[in-house]
Structure 1
Amino acid sequence: MKPKIHPEYHQVEVKCACGNTFTTGSTNREIKVDICSACHPFYTGKQKFVDAAGRVERFQKKFGGQYFAGKKGAPAAPGKA
């Protein structure tokens, strides 16, 4: 292995926009992040759930529930017996 080809790895303090700090190892001198586990909604339990049912209702309204209904009298797809 060649000497001095890898960057120096050292302990770095990570600083979040919320004010939280923690240490980790990195080749960078400093790390600044916008969101960390202390302020992210998923980890804090303040997560909002998106109304997925509204998307389904809009799809049903647009296609009238007939999108997946097959044609009546259409032959079945050939398959292995």
Structure 2
Amino acid sequence: MPKSDIHPTWSKDTPVLWDGKPLCFVGSTKKELQVDIWLANHPFYTKSQVVVDSEGRVERFMKKYGLNSTDN
């Protein structure tokens, strides 16, 4: 026989809040869910994403270990 009263209470209409404003309702065991980033303010979707310049990584590695790019 399974134990009773060991599972959390499931709510079908838990509000997802961003900046105190409800975005949508989802099922959850929490009373409310707070999010910092969502579709409307995510950098990828708002085209404000900063591209990290990774150029020069090999050169920094070679300089760090005192290697020349012509060494084999």
What interval of TM-score do these two structures reach, taking the shorter chain for normalisation?
0.5 to 0.7
Q: Deviations over 1:49-76 (max 9, x none)?
A: 1000033332233345448x44xxxxxx
Matched, 1:2 2:3: yes
Gaps of 5+ in 1: 71-81
Gaps of 5+ in 2: none
Bigger radius of gyration? 1
Query: TM-score with structure 1 length normalisation?
Result: 0.62
Which has more strand, going by share of residues? Answer: 2
TM-score relative to the length of structure 2: 0.67
What is the CA RMSD across the aligned residues, in angstroms?
2.6
- Deviating beyond 6 angstroms after TM superposition, the runs of 4 or more aligned structure 1 residues are none
Matching residue's letter, 2:42: H
Match of residue 16 from structure 1 = 18
Percent identity between matched residues is: 43
1:41–1:47 Cα contact (<8 Å) kept: yes
Aligned partner of 1:41 in structure 2 is 43
Find out whether 1:53 has 2:72 as its counterpart.
no
Paired residue total: 69
